[in-house]
Amino acid sequence: MQEGQDWVYSDVVKDHFLHPRNYLMGDESKFPYDAMGIVGNPICGDQMKMFIQVKDNKIVDLRWKTYGCASAIASTSALSEIAKGKTLEDALKISAKDIDDYLGNLPKHKFHCSILGHDALKAAIEEYKSKNK
């Protein structure tokens, strides 16, 4: 970075990238999840997995794994904080813009990372609902 240029990420993005919340370290089988969603973006190469635990129609815990850039990791970390404790219906209402706002705004060319997080959570919830009809 050249002297005098501003850093493009907010402090919240940097914090979630450097200190990700609810990240699933190691063996996925050690986290007893009820459903999992996986999404990817073939253009940028990012891939996200979201694992949820559900009780009484609420997300009581969740973990995630992301292969991607700082924005992808920060977006998934932030989403994990936002979604915990919400009903499945309320969690589905979390938008990519909500994630972006929570992070203090990603650079415009990185907004798609918040969309991937939203899509991974939606996929996990859809899997849960299909298994528990």
- Per the annotation, the verdict on 113 as an active-site residue is yes
- Per the annotation, the verdict on 44 as an active-site residue is yes
List the catalytic residue out of 96, 103, 113, 123: 113
Q: Tell me the two tokens of residue 82.
A: 């936002």
Residue 83 CA to residue 87 CA, distance in Å, equals: 8
Amino acid in the structure at residue 26: G
List the catalytic residue out of 44, 69, 82, 92: 44
> Where in the sequence numbering do the catalytic residues fall?
44, 113
